[in-house]
């Protein structure tokens, strides 16, 4: 693809997320296909001229488009149901159905120009949340937009990331050209709690922009309704593994600040001790996400009377899932029994398009309904017209501590399945003729000691001037900056010494994990407990020559991280040569470029004194493990676009199954039992 075409498409996609004039009151009404009610054509034409104006000069805008009327009937039925200004949740069936209809339509457009034109038309018809979700999801799944990148979510919709007062102060400051803060500084972003709440210790982690964007984009890369009704390769297993890794990382952060590991939210009749106030609004400030006081008890959710979420219903589906796990058999809709595997279990729990039996295990899914019922806990029958909490929004759900408690319950279902599987045997674990001789990690600062990773907390300034839901006349002609607090780390290298006694070169997969060495009480973890805490840090392929091999691997190439997200200004300036440069931002067209763990969060924060971790390295035979593609950044948690997952091994291998504690009490004992493994004690120090 030529640079001109790539830049044209990139700028055209950016135009879909540009601010346009607010819709007129006549256009804010829900579109009814039955009533055929529409605003006057003059109002529609005027609105379309406002839409097209910002696009002229760098996006494809057909000359006939300015006078076209976006009749709802040119689109499939089921579009334009959720009114503008209303809260959108992908966990609600009716919302998910409408969003899927839009996505499927846009993905099926026969050319890019048709996609871009209809996407622009849909902006006047769709609810804001559905528009933002559906347009970005379609871009991820269309083949002719595979080389384009999406703008950062915190720039196009900052209200889902920063409290309203912070945004107001930042815009006021930009308009006046000076700060209204006494010290002249950029307003801080995180004011969603206080130190009186123990969970506030990790608010900076849960509220990280890149982390929240990863979660949002993962659910777009793998929508539970599928794309045109089809799920991706190993989607159910990826649903399990990506969230399990989020929990493992969260537990490591909790241990670092003196909190207990996440407790499963499995008894739905007890008060929830954790409260949360997100202080976020959405879109035009039409609603504010609900705050949940501490001590609330779950209640049946009747916010949508046509599709309520009932606690007894959740209990029924939980019991049917447990029946399947315990018997090892799913019951299909025709009564036939099939074996339970991790991919099918993930499909059933999320109710994705490959679920074995939506009637028995839930047509919306115990996972999705859990998000929905928790989001509506403060006004479960909608008698006060209160918006739901952040648990209903994939771009903000992980801000709330209850997200991790809910997902610990979900993860426990997967755990119960996994412990019934036969432990890996010698053949599964060994790699004959290969020996790991040495392992070392070294930060790029030569003054720092080996085997100590360095982290730091830093303030980062974010420009939110590109808010797509603002009237352009309200936008200042300058940056609008807020400050975010985030963890970062010194870049480092893994240095491995590996000997191959094979007579021919071997392709090998290097699997690297870390886990906290000590529990909440300072006691060394036994392996069978520690294995749920192992964090995948990297997985890569190398060729081993006969004899000694010295392998150096940069942390910036990790298979779990995504390339750094480019700002809108950077995306507009970026040329093809820069896209292909190895500067931390390059992304292959067959990757979900926006999906992946944020690079700055790759290393857990650790402690000032140095938190002990166990680093585990395993070398396996890539000739046996390989599926279709080499590993690359983002693939561990996000897979490869429209291809099979590159690694045939179960996700999380070798820690995903029970390990015999009689044979291997600690991880060091485990690695000593196999020549292709090595464990290294390291420390993570926050300076």
Report, as residue numbers or ranges, the catalytic residues. 350
Please tell me the chain's helix, strand, coil percentages from 3-state DSSP, rounded to the nearest 5.
35, 15, 45
Q: Do 274 and 64 touch, CB atoms closer than 8 A?
A: no
- Cβ neighbours of residue 320 under 8 Å, at least 6 residues apart? 360, 361
Q: Are strands 337-339 and 434-443 parallel, antiparallel or unpaired?
A: unpaired
d(CA 499, CA 497): 7
First to last CA, the chain: 45
Place of tokens 């292709």: 676
Pairwise CA distance, residues 543 & 502, whole Å: 12
Strand, coil or helix: what is 461? Answer: strand
The residues facing 514 across adjacent strands are 535, 615
Inter-residue contact 389 to 317 (CB < 8 Å)? no
Question: For residues 195 and 183, what is the distance between their CA atoms, to the nearest angstrom?
Answer: 23
Contacts for 582 with CB less than 8 Å, ≥ 6 apart: none
Q: What sign results for the dihedral spanned by CA atoms 663, 668, 672, 677?
A: positive
Residue with tokens 């109710």: 351
Packed helices 3-15 and 112-122: angle between N→C axes, nearest 10 degrees: 10
Taking the C-alpha atoms of residue 229 and residue 224, their distance in angstroms, rounded to an integer, is 9
| Token pair belonging to 576 | 């093809």
**Using alpha carbons only, how large is the chain's radius of gyration in Å?**
25
DSSP, collapsed to helix, strand or coil, labels residue 678 as strand
Which residue from 529, 498, 528 is spatially nearest to 618, judged by alpha carbons? 498
Q: Would you list the DSSP string of 209-261? A: HHHHHHHHHHHHHS-TT-BTTBPPTTHHHHHHHHHHHHHHHHHHHHHHTTPPP
Rounded to whole angstroms, the Cα distance separating 535 from 523 reads 19
* Residues, the chain: 687
At residue 487, the 3 state secondary structure works out as strand
Q: Which residues contact 541 (CB under 8 A, 6 or more apart)?
A: 507, 508, 509, 510, 622, 626, 630, 631
Instruction: Write out the H or E segment, with its range, that includes residue 212.
Output: helix 209-221
Rounded to an integer, what distance in angstroms lies between the CA atom of residue 55 and that of residue 576?
Answer: 22
């Amino acid at each position: 693809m030529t640079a001109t075409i790539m830049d044209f498409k990139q700028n055209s996609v950016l135009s879909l997320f540009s601010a346009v004039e607010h819709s007129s009151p006549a256009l804010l009404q829900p579109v009814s296909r039955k009533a055929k009610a529409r605003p006057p054509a003059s109002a529609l034409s005027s609105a379309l001229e406002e839409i097209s104006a910002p696009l002229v000069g760098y996006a494809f805008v057909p000359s006939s488009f300015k006078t076209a009327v976006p009749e709802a009937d040119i689109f499939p039925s089921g579009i334009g149901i959720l009114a503008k200004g209303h809260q959108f949740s992908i966990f609600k069936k009716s919302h998910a159905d409408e969003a899927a209809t839009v996505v499927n339509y846009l993905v099926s457009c026969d050319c890019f120009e048709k996609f871009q034109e209809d996407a622009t038309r849909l902006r006047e018809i769709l609810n804001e949340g559905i528009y933002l979700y559906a347009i970005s999801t379609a871009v991820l799944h269309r083949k002719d937009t595979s080389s384009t990148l999406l703008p950062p979510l915190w720039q196009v919709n900052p209200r889902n990331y920063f409290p309203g007062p912070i945004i107001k102060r930042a815009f006021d400051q930009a308009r006046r050209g000076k700060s209204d803060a006494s010290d002249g500084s950029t307003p801080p972003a995180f004011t969603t709690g206080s130190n009186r709440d123990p969970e506030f210790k990790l608010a900076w982690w849960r509220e990280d922009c890149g982390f929240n964007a990863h979660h949002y984009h993962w659910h777009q890369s793998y929508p539970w309704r599928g794309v045109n009704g089809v799920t991706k390769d190993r989607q159910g297993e990826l649903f399990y593994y990506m969230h399990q890794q989020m929990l493992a990382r969260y537990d490591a952060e909790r241990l670092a600040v003196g909190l207990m590991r996440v407790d499963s939210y499995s008894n739905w009749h007890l008060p929830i001790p954790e409260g949360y106030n997100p202080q976020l609004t959405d879109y035009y400030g039409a609603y504010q996400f609900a705050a949940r006081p501490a001590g609330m008890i779950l209640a049946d959710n009747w916010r949508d009377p046509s599709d309520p979420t009932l606690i007894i219903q959740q209990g029924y589906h939980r019991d049917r899932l447990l029946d399947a796990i315990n018997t090892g058999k799913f019951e299909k809709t025709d009564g036939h029994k099939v074996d339970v595997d991790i991919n099918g279990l993930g499909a059933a729990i999320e109710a994705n398009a490959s679920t074995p039996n939506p009637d028995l295990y839930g047509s919306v899914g115990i996972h999705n309904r859990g998000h929905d019922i928790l989001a509506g806990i403060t006004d479960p029958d909608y008698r006060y017209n209160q918006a739901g909490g952040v648990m209903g929004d994939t771009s903000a759900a992980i801000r709330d501590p209850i997200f991790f408690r809910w997902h610990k319950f979900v993860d426990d279902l997967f755990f119960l399945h996994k412990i019934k599987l036969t432990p890996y045997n010698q053949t599964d674990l060994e790699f004959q003729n290969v020996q790991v001789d040495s392992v070392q990690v070294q930060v790029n600062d030569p003054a720092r000691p080996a085997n100590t990773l360095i982290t730091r907390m830093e303030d980062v300034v974010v420009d939110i001037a590109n808010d797509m839901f603002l009237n352009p006349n309200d936008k200042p002609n300058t940056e609008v900056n807020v400050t975010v607090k985030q963890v970062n780390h010194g870049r480092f290298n893994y240095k491995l010494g590996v000997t191959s006694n094979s007579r021919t070169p071997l392709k090998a997969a290097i699997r690297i994990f870390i886990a906290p060495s000590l529990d909440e009480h300072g006691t060394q973890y036994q392996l069978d407990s520690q294995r749920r805490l192992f964090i995948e840090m990297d997985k890569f392929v190398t060729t081993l020559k006969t004899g000694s091999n010295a392998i150096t691997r940069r942390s910036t190439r990790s298979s779990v991280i995504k390339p750094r997200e480019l700002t809108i200004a950077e995306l507009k300036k970026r040329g093809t040569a820069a896209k292909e440069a190895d500067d931390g931002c390059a992304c292959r067209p067959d990757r979900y470029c926006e999906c992946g763990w944020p690079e700055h969060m790759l290393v857990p924060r650790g402690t000032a004194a140095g938190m002990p971790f166990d680093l585990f390295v395993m070398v396996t035979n890539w000739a046996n493990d390989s599926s279709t593609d080499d590993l690359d950044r983002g693939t561990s948690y996000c897979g490869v676009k429209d291809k099979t997952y590159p690694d045939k091994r179960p996700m999380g291998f070798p820690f995903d199954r029970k390990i015999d504690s009689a044979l291997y009490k600690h991880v060091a004992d485990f690695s000593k039992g196999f020549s292709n493994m090595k464990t290294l004690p390291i420390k993570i120090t926050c300076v």
